[in-house]
Amino acid sequence: MRRRPGIGGLQNAAAARDQYRLLGENVAKLRTDLMKEQLATFRSQLEDFARKHKNDIRKNPAFRAQFHEMCAKVGVDPLASNKGFWAELLGIGDFYYELGVQIIEVCLATRPHNGGLISLDDLCKLLGQRRKAVRETISEDDCLRAISKLKVLGSGYEVITVGKRKLVRSVPTELNKDHNEILELAQAQGFVTVDEVQRRLNWSSGRATDALETLLEEGLAMIDDGHRDGRRRYWFPCVSSVSSYVGTDAL
Amino acid sequence: MAGNWLPAAQLTGSGRPVLEPGEVECSLLSSVDLLSEENPNFPHLKSGLLILTTHRLIWVQESSTTSPPTAVFIPLSAVTHIFSLKKSIKSMFASPRFRFQASLKGMMVVITLILRGKSDIDSFLEKFWEAWRRKAWEDGVVKSGPEVSGSGHGSGGDGGFAVRMPVVGVAGILRKEQEMWENTDKSLQDAFQDLNALMGKAKEMVMLAERMRTKLLSGSTSQATGTNDEEIGTKEEMQELLLSVGIVSPVTKESAGALYHQQLSRQLADFVKIPLERSGGMINLIDIYCLFNRARGTELISPDDLLRACSLWEKFDVPVMLRKFDSDVMVIQSKSHSDDEVFTRIRSLVTTPDTLRAGITASDAAMTLGIAPAMAKEHLLAAEAKGLLCRDVSPDGFRFFVNLLQEIDADDIFLVKEYGIYHTWIKAISAAR
């Protein structure tokens, strides 16, 4: 296009630029959409293959490596065994082992948010999302069975009951840094309440209660139900010197 | 030892071979001799571990008294002929052996492998043949070429295509774009016809996956078109977190046979190094079970196998150990994070002027050492059992003091040795008053 002088020429050029830009955007959008579509096909095909040809894939080490690479790149979980009749009945086969690995994975991935305490409901929901392709819902019973298979590796994962809800705890007491945070919090007054822990540290009530109960069991905390506001206070004599809590009592 | 003839193979800290990119382990045999019957100068390598990979034949000296085991390899590309097995009456009594010819240092050498262990020579030979014929080492060399043009083609703007079709103006670009999509569609269809087709096209598909991934990831960050994109993004992040530390060549029962647990144990020791560093020297065994299995892809191992692999660590010289707490919780910890190191820190903790006077509690130790209170208590009790600390049980709680009794002489209890802890303690106490 030859550039013409004058305002008209400038306006023309601007309009042309706009049109090119519009076209470019359309193409880019089309491209992403197509890409997504192809990615979806790719994914579902890989998932199918992972399920149908599991044993054949395992027989060929070189191909297996490539297959894993594909799965990793497009975000497909290569573990996709069906539960099947025998798994359900006898608990044999790879199903519960695979589910176990996926359960731990969910726990690991959500740990930064929940401190290693996840309700069984949420766990099932997240697992269901990951196993969409298998089209098989994961029941709580399946989860419990899969977790019980991990018992061989020590009692690092526990199913605990808080109120009516079942929670899965993936951080054993020995490795739980939540307790340190509570101790730090308690340093100010010598005691904390469940509410305070929830509010100040932004934790769920289950997480706060569980941590405090464990500290109580460990003998680090003492409870005091006798206060006027009716809230249970967890005292930590270990973090505050005697003089400081005499001081707060006097207030 | 065999340096003149055979190049040395690199080993990991736990004595497993370091594999090249794209190299995959196919089979392992124990107690194999490697020698050349015709050439007396060729070293006689006795009773080692033989590892067949897609690229090499690696011979590793089986754990001996000399600390770093040596390893050598023969590239499969140097193998010129594999002799078929001779069946005779004699061979039924002797240890099975087979020979192959290789060109090493410009010379043709016939190498004999003698299998002293109980192993299936036929299946090994079959795998050897397969790996040799497959010529996987060539893929790596060729790959570097097309990969460059492949990525160019992926970025969508240029070269290879332009030559074939005249690209004129916007229409040309659009046409090119469309053709690219049709090609991708077609290759996807072709590849997923059946397993063999996928195997044949595996390399291409891996590249396609990579291309899609980079494009979509870059797309979603620059445009952020909607929740759907974000969902894919986070999902992939999560996957990446765990799959990024992939083990290309997992030890399997099929490849390692009788050596399965031993090799698994070594591979695990190499593997845990990174997660262990990230989590500060100690990690839940169950977490490792997940990470390790994830890295292995479809080659799941059972919890029992993992436990067995961990318990074998005692026999090898590896920098990690399995630890079991009284509460039945099992963790993996690095040896540098061991009790001795912790005791040194506890000692320095209890010998400051303040703590000499008032002692420490488990929670003090937890906060100073940056570990969980329950863990700190374990450490303090262990230190007490060692005689480093003394406990004091009072209404104030459970407190630990440095053990002065060791320094007190039974014959003269009032003797204060200068510069001992007792001396420092007396100074601290009197200063407080």
Strand order in the sheet with A165-169: A117-119, A165-169, A158-162
* CA of A69 vs chain B CAs: smallest distance (Å): 7
Q: Are residues B265 and B360 in the same domain?
A: no
> Looking at the predicted structure, is the pLDDT value of residue A94 above 60?
yes
pLDDT value at residue B166: 56
pLDDT band at A2 (very low <50, low <70, confident <90, very high): low
What is the structure's pLDDT at B141?
A: 55
- What mean pLDDT is reported for chain A? 78
Same domain, B323 and B344: no
Percent of chain A with pLDDT over 90: 0
Label the pairing between strands A191-192 and B97-104: unpaired
| Residue A100 · residue A149 · CB < 8 Å | yes
Domain boundary, last residue among B332, B352, B376: B332
pLDDT at B247: 72
Q: Which of B173, B184, B284, B324 to mutate to test the interface with A (most CBs of A within 10 A)?
A: B284
Mean pLDDT for B346-351 is 86
B327 shares its domain with B395: no
B56 near B73, Cβ under 8 Å?
A: yes
Over 80: is that where the pLDDT of A141 sits? Answer: yes
Phi-psi region of A116 (alpha: psi -120 to 50; beta: other; left: phi over 0): left
Does the structure show a pLDDT above 80 at B2? no
Split into its structural domains, chain B has a count of 3
In a domain, B108, yes or no: yes
Q: Which range scores top for mean pLDDT: A239-243, B190-194, B225-229, B382-386?
A: B382-386
Cα–Cα distance between B364 and B389 in angstroms, integer? 15
Q: For residues B423 and B425, what is the distance between their CA atoms, to the nearest angstrom?
A: 5
Q: What is the CATH number of the domain that holds B89?
A: 2.30.29.30
CA distance B258 to B29: 8
Burial A51-85 (b: 16+ CB within 10 A, else e): eebbeebbebbbbbbbbbbbbbbbbbbbbbbebee
| Average pLDDT over every residue of B392-414 | 78
**Domain containing B406 — which CATH number?**
1.10.10.10
CA neighbours closer than 13 Å in the CB half-sphere of residue A28? 15
Q: What is the reported pLDDT for A244?
A: 43
The answer, yes or no, to whether residue B241 has pLDDT greater than 50, is no
Domain housing B263 = 253-332
CATH classification code of A45-172: 1.10.10.10
Domain residue extents for chain A: 45-172, 174-243
Residue B67 banded pLDDT, cuts 50, 70, 90: low
Candidates B360, B383, B373; CA nearest to A218 is B373
For chains A and B, CB pairs below 8 A equal 240
Per-position DSSP letters for B182-216, written without gaps between them: HHHHHHHHHHTSSHHHHHHTHHHHHHHHHHHHHHH
Same domain, B324 and B352: no
The pLDDT of residue B88: 61
Could you tell me if B400 and B359 lie in one domain? Answer: yes
**DSSP run (H or E) holding B276:** helix B260-278
**Are both B308 and B401 inside the same structural domain?**
no
| Interface touch B195/A219, C-beta < 8 Å | no
pLDDT at B228: 44
CA–chain centroid gap for B277, Å, is 13
Average pLDDT over residues B324-350: 83
pLDDT of residue B87: 63
Beta strands (DSSP E) in chain A are 117-119, 158-162, 165-169, 191-192, 222-224, 233-235
Q: Which of B86, B115, B136 is the last residue of a domain?
A: B136
- Residue range A154-177: mean pLDDT, rounded: 83
Inter-chain touch B188–A150, beta carbons under 8 Å? no
Predicted confidence at residue B239, as pLDDT, reads: 47
Judgement on whether residues B346 and B422 belong to the same structural domain of the protein? yes
Residue found by looking up tokens 């040809």 in the block? A53
Please tell me if the domain spanning A45-172 has the same topology as the one spanning A174-243.
yes
Q: Say what the pLDDT of residue A148 is.
A: 87
pLDDT at A163: 75
Q: What percent of chain B shows pLDDT beyond 90?
A: 2
Are B274 and B355 contained in the same domain? no
* Residue A155 · residue A218 · CB < 8 Å: no
Over residues A98-128, the pLDDT tens digits come to: 888 888 988 888 888 888 888 888 888 888 8
Mean pLDDT over A69-88 rounds to 67
Tokens 């680090």, residue located? A220
Q: In the predicted model, is pLDDT for residue A196 greater than 70?
A: yes
Exposure of A63 in the CB half-sphere (CA atoms within 13 A)? 19
A35 and B215: CB-CB below 8 Å?
Answer: yes
- E-strand stretches of B328-396: 330-334, 389-394
A interface test, pick of B180, B268, B282, B287 with most A CB neighbours within 10 Å: B287
pLDDT tens digits, B148-184: 333 334 334 444 444 455 556 777 777 777 787 788 8
Over residues B80-94, the pLDDT tens digits come to: 888 877 666 555 667
Closest Cα to residue A78, out of A60, A61, A101, A59?
A101
Is residue B419 situated within a structural domain?
A: yes
- CATH architecture of the domain with range A174-243: Orthogonal Bundle (1.10)
Chain B residues whose beta carbon lies within 8 Å of the beta carbon of residue A26 = none
pLDDT (mean) for B45-57? 86
Mean pLDDT of B373-398: 83
Q: Given this model, what pLDDT does residue A167 score?
A: 86
**pLDDT for residue B44:** 81
Which segment of A36-50, A186-200, B135-149, B397-411 scores lowest on mean pLDDT?
B135-149
Task: Tell me, yes or no, whether B128 and B31 share the same domain.
Answer: yes
Amino acid at B419: Y
Q: Cβ contacts (< 8 Å) between B307 and chain A: which residues?
A: 152-153
If you average pLDDT over every residue of chain B, what do you get? 76
Give the count of alpha carbons within 13 A of B159, CB side only: 10
**Domain termination residue (choose one: B83, B116, B136):** B136
Option in B136, B216, B307 nearest A35 (CB): B216
Residue B203: inside a domain, yes or no? Answer: no
Whether B354 is covered by a domain: the verdict is: yes
- HSE, CB side, 13 Å, CA atoms: give it for residue A59: 9
pLDDT digits 0-9 by tens, B206-233: 777 777 777 766 654 444 344 444 444 4
* Residues B127, B35 share a domain: yes
The answer on pLDDT for B367 being more than 70 is: yes
> Which residue from B minimizes the CA distance to A56?
B195
* Same domain as B343, residue B327: no
Q: Are B408 and B421 in contact (CB under 8 A)?
A: no
